[in-house]
Homo-oligomer: A and B are copies of this chain.
């Protein structure tokens, strides 16, 4: 029982790494088998279908995202510091080879209904909820104004991240970082309690 689970996890780690570059549906079982040193059919048996593999890859991606982006941010102080932490951690995450897994996967799957899409959507909703929750905490900590619309804040922050991803990864704009940070600071400034 242990051995199977162990190789399955090794497969998923490699699968996530590969699909981060070629996409979740661009990942082929043959290529993944080659990369892991398994046979195509041996690997296939672990999942039963390509779709099940895709779902598992999305699950693995979410697991890693939580561990590398969300969890470390909880160590930052509640309120604005934590929001900055989320931004910085996501930034690091998006600088992996292939960029942010979810940005790519979302545009791959947005016209392909099914279980993989549903799993991916849940992950994205969790992420946006986390942003919104962090904003609410910033309000309750007295960092943000009480009338800040936290869901709207989450949208704005999410958008800036998408803009950064596009400028940096596709346009290869060296100013991408500065642009995103400028927008982010303005968003924070706009949300903060005004000094008297």
Task: Name A's B-contacting residues (CB within 8 A).
Answer: 21-23, 98-99, 103-104, 106-111, 121, 124-125, 128, 149, 151-152, 155-156, 158-160, 162-164, 166-167, 169-171, 175, 179-180, 182-183, 186, 190
CB pair A179–B155 under 8 Å, yes or no, is yes
Contacts of A186 in B (CB 8 A): 190
Chain B residue with the shortest CB-CB distance to A100: B107
With a cutoff of 8 Å between Cβ atoms, the chain B residues found around residue A183 in the complex are: 152, 155-156, 159
Say how far A31's CB is from chain B's closest CB, in angstroms: 15
| 17 residue pairs A–B, Cβ–Cβ below 8 Å | A21-B111, A22-B111, A98-B111, A104-B107, A121-B171, A128-B171, A149-B182, A151-B175, A152-B179, A152-B182, A155-B163, A155-B180, A155-B182, A156-B163, A159-B162, A162-B162, A186-B190
Give Cα distance in the complex from A106 to B179, angstroms: 19
Where chain A touches its partner, the secondary structure class is: helix
What's the minimum C-beta distance from A126 to chain B, rounded to whole angstroms? 12
In the complex formed, the residue of B with least CB distance to A176 is B155
- Is there an interface contact between A106 and B158, defined as CB atoms closer than 8 Å? no
- Residues of chain B lying within 8 A (CB to CB) of residue A155: 163, 167, 179-180, 182-183
New A-B pairs, 11, CB < 8 Å, besides A121-B170, A152-B182, A155-B179: A22-B111, A98-B111, A110-B169, A121-B171, A124-B171, A151-B175, A152-B183, A155-B163, A156-B163, A159-B163, A162-B166
